[in-house]
Every structure is written in C-alpha cells, then in structure tokens.
Structure 1
Amino acid sequence: MKKKFDASIIMVDGSFRENFHSVDFFSHQTLAPEDYELIWVEYYKQVHPELENKISRYPNARIVKLGKEGEYHSSYCFNAGIKESRGEILFVPDADVVVEGNFLEKALKEHETNSRLALYFYRKDESQTYHTDDIDLNHLKQVCALKSSNNFGGCLSVKKKWLLEINGYDQHPVFGSGFHANGLDVYTRLKNLGLHIMWHPDLFLYHPWHPLSRVTASNYKLQHLIIQHHALNLETSAFQGIDSSKNLKISDELIKKLQRKQRVNLIGVFKEKLMQLSGK
C-alpha cells in the first residue's frame, strides 16, 4: 500500500521554466519530509537536466512526465498532479515562487480548524529594477511588493477531495497555452461549492522577476466568459475535467457567446497587424 501524506505540492511545467529554486524552498520546510511530497508535472517528454538533478536530492520529490505534444495546456498537468497525489491537503503554487521555511506547517494549521477551507496566499513581486540572479529570500522580502490582491494562480491550498468534487481544472481548449485564468476558474467553482475562502494575512509568496512576469493574452477574454457563466449559474464542475463522466455540458447560449467573442478577438488581432504593417 502506498504511503499517505499530510500534504502534496503540485508544480507544473511545459518545458519553459529556466529556474527551479522553488523545489529547494518547498523541500526545506519545518514540516518533516516524510509528511509531504512534491510532484513536478511536465507536459512534454523531456525535463531540464538541472531539474532532474535537483529532484533527485529529495526522497519525497518526483517528476511525472505526460509526454504530450502540441500547445501546452497547464490544466492537464494540474489534473495529473491531483490524480497522482497522496496527500490529504494539496498545495498548487506557481512553480517559481519563494516561501519561508514554515510555510507548509503554518498553512496546514489553518486546515486543522476548518475542514471546508480553500486557502490562498498573496504574491509579492520583485520588479526588474531590483532583480538579482541570486534567489535570496531575505532580498525578496525587502524588495518585493504586492502588485495584485487577487492572484488566484499564486498558490491554492485545499483538500484533495474538494478538487475532485469540482472535477479538477478545466481542460477545455479555451484554457490552453501558458497564459490562462484557470486559477480564477477553480476559485469560482470552489466558491460555488460552498467552501470557505481565506486569504492568509501573513504567509506570503515571493516572486522573482523574469521576462513575461506580467502579461495578458486575448484568450483571457474567452476564459472570463466561461468563468462568468460558472459564477452566474452557480456551477461547480469543469466542462472537461479529471473525470469525463462528471463533465458539465456547455450550453448553446455560452457557445454562441464564445463564438462571438472569438470573432471580435480575431478582428482585433487583424487590425493590430495592419497597424504594425503600416507603421502606425
């Protein structure tokens, strides 16, 4: 019988990450190593040699390779991590954040007092001005600032059973690519499920600056249509989740809205290209 853990940490990648410091920070915790596991899920077949070397240092860490091809879709990675996990409480952090050594221990104590908790954490960002290549917690604590008070992709901590109840992350093609709002989507469905949402007041995530730290994508508009639909209809399940038998059927009304929005997005992109070509 496979060992059960108090917690599982799920980190995801699509062969685009260049730094793997988060593995070290989440592996050096006051929580005993035998009480939690770290799962790194790679969408494609290959992983960086530096990551393999780093993971091999920690007996409670492992890599799961999905071996997929084509455009990266993070939801497949999140769902694979959920299925693979053996912890009661799951942590799903952005895979390049830095945390303090008592992060897991303090977060788990919150779950002890509330069995229906969905716990989020504020992410403080380093600006390019103060960036140093050496990832140091003390430096980040001094220079990082809160840029958004509702970064749902920074880190979620929730019982595994609740993520299974909402059928995990949505694998619908709209949520594809590395630019996604599936954190907000999961938050919306957990809220609709009746979970108690908490933003921890003093456990922070520290995010080193890197290119593409703050970007937007046209796909967000389509994703937000789906999220708004879930919110207004109090829906809890994904359209394409972990268990296909639990998938929610997409209404004709929502399909029409997505099609209209997609046409508008394409027109906007076309106009932008024309402006670039004309030099305006």
Structure 2
Amino acid sequence: MDSGDMKVLRKNQRITDPKVSLVLLDWGCRESFHTVEYLNHLVTPRDQYEIIWVEYYDRRPSELVDLQQRYESHGRAAPIDTWIVMARPKGEVFRKHWMNNVGLLNARGEIVVFMDSDAITSTTFVETILLEFKNDPDVILYIEEIRTGDASFYPFSYPNPKEIIPVASNLANGVPLGMRNFRCGLLADPSLIHWRNYGACFGARRNDIIRVGGWDEHDDYTGYIAGPYEMSMRMEWSGKRERWSFRELLWHVPHPGNDGIDNFSGPHDGKGVSTTAMEIINSRRTLPLRENPHIRELRVSMFGESAPPAVEQRPAKRHVHEPKPTSPVPSNRRFLPIEGSKAWNNDQFHMIGRFIEDTEIRVENLEYPRAFALGAYAACIAKQLNLPQERVEGIYIAAMMGSLDTAACAAEGPKCLLQQGLADLWRCEPLLTAAKVSAAKGQRYDGKGCAARGKQIPLEARIVAVAQKFDELVNLRSAGARMEFSLVWRAIEDESSRAFDPQVVDAARACLEDLVCVHLRCMHDSLGFMYPCYKYEVAKKERPEPKTQPLGEFYVLTSREHSGSRYALVPTWNDPTAFYTCFDREEILRRGQPQTAVSNYHGHNILLYAGRYFAVPHGMHEFKLAYLHRGDYGRRVLASHKLAAVKHMVLAKALKRKAAVLMLKPARSLVRRVLG
C-alpha cells in the first residue's frame, strides 16, 4: 500500500495511552455518523479508550466536522481522537484491509477493536471488551450484531435497540442465530462462517495482530470480499482462541447501499466469503500473502523474522453450565406501544409541551426540547420499574410540566407552582400527578433539611428528581461545559440513598441505554411527544387542528373536545404565567382585553387585565403586558392579583409623595428668603 497523499486531520495528543483503540472505517458510503456519538456515551471513562476514524477517499464529511465543533464548543473531549484521510483516487476500489492496517499503525491502545462504523452500541461496550480480555488474555473477541431490514428505521433517528428486537432478521426466541456454540472458532467448525457476522466487531491485542503480520493486503481482498475472519484463522493457528461475547450485542438498521451497489469482489464462494481466506484452514498459514511493510518492520523488531508456528487445534466444546446468550427483552414484547392508555386526551398536553419548548428556546436559550426530554427520561425509568402504562404516561406529563414550573418560578418567585394551580382548576389526572411532583420538588431521600424523607416522598417525585438531575448533567446547553458521560452517571450514583431513592437509581442504571437514546434524539431534533410511552400521532384526522384568532396581545386557540369547545389564551410574548384555558369563550374574551376596574384613584387608573389588577399612572398613553414583562415600566406600574392590594400600594405611594412635598415646602421658602 502506497501512503500517497494521506492526511492526518487530527492526531491523539493524550499523554497517557488508552487501554482500547476503536477503529472505524468509511469509504464514502456513510451518511449517518451515529456510532461516534454512541461511543462517546459509555460508562467507561473517556481516557481509557480512543476512537480512530479512517476515510479511504479524499472526503471530509461536514457532519463529522460539525460534531467535532459542537463537542469542543461545550467543553467536551473531541468525539474523534485520530482522524485519517487516505485520499485514494476516486475511481479506485476500496480496500478494507488497507484501512485496517492504517488504523492499527495509529492505534495506541493495548487492545485494538475494528468495528462496524454505523452500528448502535450499548453504554457498556468498552467495559465488556475489557472484561473479556481480563478473563482470557489470549482471546480473539467477536461481538454479534443484530440486524433488521425494516425500512421504517430510515432515515436514522436514534432508535432504541428494544424497538429493533421484534423485527430483527437474525434473532429467534431472544437468541442471535449466529451465537450457537459461541466458544467455537472457524478452525473447529467452518460452517459457522455463513451464520455469523464476522465484520461487525473484531478485537485482539495489538501485539498479537502485529505478530501475525497484520491485515493481508493481497489483491484478492478487494471491495466487500474481505473481513476479520481471514485474520482470525491465522491468529487461531498461532495459538489464540476465537470467542464470541455473550455479554454484549451491537445493533444495525438499514440504509441506502446497505448491501453495496455494483460491488467489485475478489474470489468468493458465491455467498460473500473469500475462498482465498478459507484456504488457511488447510494451509495453516500464519502470515499474510502480502504484508504491509511498516507492520513487517514492527513484527521483525518485536518478534523476529520467522512466522509464528502453527499450533495444533482442539475442537471447542460447550460447557454444561455456561450461560446462554440472550437479548435484553423477549422478542415478542413491543417496547413502544402503538396507542396510549387513553385515560385522558393528550392533544392538549402536546400543545402545552410545544408552548413550553418555544418558551425555553426563546427565553432560556436552550438548544434542545427540555420539556420532552424530562418526560422521556422519567418515563424510561418508570417503565423499568414496571409501572402500569397509565401511570407511566402521567409521570411523563408531570416531568414535562416541571419545565413550566422552572420558567414560572424564575418569573414570579419560588412559590409560584403552575402545576398546582392547574390541578386545582382541573381535578383530574395527569394534573394531579403533576401537582404531587411539583409539591415534592427539592425533597431529599435522606430527609436532610427537608420536610419529607424516604417513602414519604411520592414515587413519581422520586423518579422525576433522578430524571431532572440526569438532564441537568448530560445535555449540551447553550453555555458552559458539559460533563463527560461516565462522570455523569458516577455523580448520580454517588447521591444514591442521599438525594435519590436507591431503587430509582438502580432502575435508571438498568435502562441507561434508553436514556442515551432519548438524549441523542434530543440533540438531533427527533424526540417526539410521549416517547417512549407510545407512538403519538401529531396530526390526527378525526381531530381538526385548533383554530387561532388574534385578540390584542394574545392568541385565542379553539379546539373541539367531547365536552365542548376548549379555549386557550396564549400570550404573544414569552411568559408562561399568562397562559390560560377554559371552556367559556366570554371568560376568555374578558380576560384577553383590559377593563377599567377603578378610575382616577390617586392619580391612577386601575385595570383588570389577564386576571390581574394593574395601577397605571395618569399620562401613560399605552399599557401593554409585554412591555411590563420586559421591564420597560420599571416601578411606575403596580400589580397584584387582588384589587385591595393594588389600592393599598397606590395609596401608600400617594401618601409617600405627599409627605415628601410637605417636608420640602418649608425648605423651599427658606431658600427663597435667603436668595431674595
């Protein structure tokens, strides 16, 4: 392989070497780079593994550039540690083995893993790899990939692996088809080559790969007819053991060009397996047919000129008490129901959620839908605790409306609980659950400095507390550095039995993949309302869209329900406290227009507007709530929910002004006499 115009766009500059190097390949075929993001959300500390991206052609995807900039702008470590562009000619057929050797030569980890660059990984991916090599230092490690051809997963929207299970093509009764006799290699059973996905994930110690000469750069391994099985058989003959992990799985969904287009291929058996590679079973060859010169130089300096001798193989047998590989949930169980519990109408809460989202983006400068994220995090934990569907949906709404409380408290003070107010107005679920969660906000599980403790705090509130903390630590906000993902989870676990219920923390740990899925959906604007409770349809044909009508500084939204027309008064400025809804149109019209309550009261006119009383001084030509919310009036306009309170404030202001005049009058007379 000629290095030619190879470019290193980024090089790992860490002082200490990582334990694991993850090599991902691209030959101009990737349109989604989600694997990089999944690999940056692992429970393993980021300094223990590095990510190497190798591009065959002269290509620098804008998506990867944007991803790098987004992470670095928020104080996060770069998502890719080493980025290499081989810059091969555009018309040349790609060589996976060439790319693998480039990754191997630039890897600094003791263990090197070559994996599918568009796979979905779990949060324990690197943790499992380290455990497998700790248990067996001589292992050739493979991890199976569960695949589906369901086109509904395209374009990629960060699906939960549990959504893939019911439509997986290589999964039967919760067991991957290629995992039979998973401690057996190809030398013992060559028929496994057509059952297993050898290209999904291959890992070995770096020195063991160099000892057998690295990846074979022979012309027969061109295009798609290539793979780790060639390397694996040579390493088996040199004394290593092929094993498939029963602790971990990868996941893959379809995309255009999934199986290749007009593929060029070397000699194969008609089923995509290289016949040149399979000859190793009989030849017992341990070195490649064409060795990379740089790897040869390393091999000779480390192990000498001669090839590793072939070691006699013993057929592997399954142990009687060995655990069987299984998927996370039964394949006949659907993670995302098609319909909700129908205990209440969620359309109105969808409208409220969109309003909260707009407020947070405009006022708090958030870069993601926090309200929907909080609801989804809490719902994931509630589902893990096996709560009924109706209760899960109620917890989602309660967590979502927690953002409304946060915005309202910032505007009106800590005692303003809109959820409680709405629950008093509509004494029904899920608002009663939302009010319960709001009332318990700030309570600690250990009761330190709080009125309640332990099980005295409602379970819903304990779940939402963990969800809010996770969101606070993990999401990339508009300002400030975000915490590394492994540290996020450690911070939550440290507060178990103190700030948080240990049972809820354990449930959150068990569904960490679900939380990561929600987080990544947030970052890419693909998180829908009521996910993961059920598939909410935004536009239902049987329900017309709410009608919008301007009314002064407000919009009036009208929606049809079984009990009649519901009206919502939505402010044109960003103030969640001015939102109001009821079934009485006349009440909405009165509330949305200013009305004179008291005229000429000590130099003020007192107006009733949007449910509050405002004392406006004479001479003010125009009064608008938007200007008041913005702070344009300063202290000139007095406001309260009670008429008597406003009158008291106006009277106190008038008396204070009159007292000042009386005190200044003698002083003015004295000044005139002296000057006169």
Is the shorter-chain TM-score for this pair beyond 0.5, marking a shared fold? Answer: yes
Question: TM-score interval w.r.t. the shorter chain?
Answer: 0.7 to 0.9
The TM-score with structure 1 as length reference comes to 0.80
AA of the residue aligned to 1:219: G
Higher mean C-alpha deviation, range 193-202 or range 109-118: 193-202
1:197 equivalent to 2:247? Answer: no
1:123 matched to which residue of 2? 145
AA of the residue aligned to 1:67: A
2:277 matched to which residue of 1? 227
Preserved CA contact (<8 Å) 2:27 2:55? yes
Structure 1 residues 140-159: aligned runs within 5 Å:
140-146=164-170, 149=178, 150-159=196-205
2:546 matched to which residue of 1? none
Shift of 1:51: 1.6
1:38 matched to which residue of 2? 51
2:65 matched to which residue of 1? 52
AA of the residue aligned to 1:233: S
- CA deviations over 1:7-65 (Å, ceiling 9, x no partner): 01000111221111000111111110111100000112222110222245343623111
1:165 equivalent to 2:250? Answer: no
Secondary structure at 1:181 match in 2: coil
1:97 equivalent to 2:119? Answer: yes
Structure 1 residues 18-33: aligned runs within 5 Å:
18-33=31-46
Secondary structure at 1:15 match in 2: coil
One of 65, 74, 83 as aligned partner of 1:63: 83
Seen in structure 2, the aligned counterparts of structure 1 residues 66 and 82 have a Cα distance that, compared at 3 Å, is same
Structure 1 residues 208-247: aligned runs within 5 Å:
208-214=253-259, 218-221=265-268, 224-242=274-292, 243-244=295-296
The TM-score with structure 2 as length reference comes to 0.35
Q: Which has the larger radius of gyration?
A: 2
1:15 matched to which residue of 2? 28
Query: Counterparts of 1:212 and 1:193 in 2: how far apart (Å)?
Result: 36
Seen in structure 2, the aligned counterparts of structure 1 residues 220 and 94 have a Cα distance that, compared at 3 Å, is farther
2:158 matched to which residue of 1? 135
Preserved CA contact (<8 Å) 1:118 1:195? yes
Query: Counterparts of 1:244 and 1:196 in 2: how far apart (Å)?
Result: 23
The answer to which structure, 1 or 2, has the higher relative contact order (CA under 8 A, 6+ apart) is 1
Query: Counterparts of 1:166 and 1:212 in 2: how far apart (Å)?
Result: 33
Preserved CA contact (<8 Å) 1:169 1:182? no
One of 233, 241, 245 as aligned partner of 1:188: 233
One of 208, 230, 252 as aligned partner of 1:207: 252
Seen in structure 2, the aligned counterparts of structure 1 residues 64 and 224 have a Cα distance that, compared at 3 Å, is same
Seen in structure 2, the aligned counterparts of structure 1 residues 191 and 154 have a Cα distance that, compared at 3 Å, is same
**Bigger strand fraction:** 1
- CA deviations over 1:50-97 (Å, ceiling 9, x no partner): 022224534362311112222211111110000100001111111111
Query: Counterparts of 2:247 and 2:133 in 1: how far apart (Å)?
Result: 15
Shift of 1:141: 4.4
Q: How many pairs were matched up?
A: 247
Seen in structure 2, the aligned counterparts of structure 1 residues 89 and 71 have a Cα distance that, compared at 3 Å, is same
Shift of 1:213: 2.9
Query: Counterparts of 1:202 and 1:105 in 2: how far apart (Å)?
Result: 10
Query: Counterparts of 1:55 and 1:193 in 2: how far apart (Å)?
Result: 40
Secondary structure at 1:219 match in 2: coil
Preserved CA contact (<8 Å) 1:9 1:91? yes
Query: Counterparts of 2:267 and 2:147 in 1: how far apart (Å)?
Result: 21
- CA deviations over 1:162-215 (Å, ceiling 9, x no partner): 1111211111122112x1232221121122122111111131110111234346
Query: Counterparts of 2:209 and 2:126 in 1: how far apart (Å)?
Result: 19
Secondary structure at 1:23 match in 2: helix
Secondary structure at 1:201 match in 2: coil
Preserved CA contact (<8 Å) 2:93 2:264? no
Shift of 1:229: 2.2
- CA deviations over 1:212-264 (Å, ceiling 9, x no partner): 4346865251772311222211111111233356799xxxxxxxxxxxxxxxx
Secondary structure at 1:79 match in 2: helix
Higher mean C-alpha deviation, range 15-24 or range 53-62: 53-62
Query: Counterparts of 1:73 and 1:8 in 2: how far apart (Å)?
Result: 20
Seen in structure 2, the aligned counterparts of structure 1 residues 218 and 176 have a Cα distance that, compared at 3 Å, is closer
Secondary structure at 1:232 match in 2: helix
Secondary structure at 1:66 match in 2: strand
Query: Counterparts of 1:238 and 1:187 in 2: how far apart (Å)?
Result: 12
Unpaired runs of 5+ in structure 2? 1-13, 72-76, 172-176, 179-195, 306-676
Shift of 1:136: 1.5
AA of the residue aligned to 2:78: P
Secondary structure at 2:78 match in 1: coil
1:88 matched to which residue of 2? 110
Seen in structure 2, the aligned counterparts of structure 1 residues 233 and 55 have a Cα distance that, compared at 3 Å, is farther
Higher mean C-alpha deviation, range 46-55 or range 218-227: 218-227
Unpaired runs of 5+ in structure 1? 249-280
Seen in structure 2, the aligned counterparts of structure 1 residues 65 and 228 have a Cα distance that, compared at 3 Å, is same
Query: Counterparts of 1:202 and 1:217 in 2: how far apart (Å)?
Result: 35
1:176 matched to which residue of 2? 222
Cα RMSD between the aligned structures?
Answer: 2.4
- CA deviations over 1:85-135 (Å, ceiling 9, x no partner): 000111111111101111110221111121101111111102234424212
Preserved CA contact (<8 Å) 2:18 2:50? yes
Seen in structure 2, the aligned counterparts of structure 1 residues 126 and 225 have a Cα distance that, compared at 3 Å, is closer
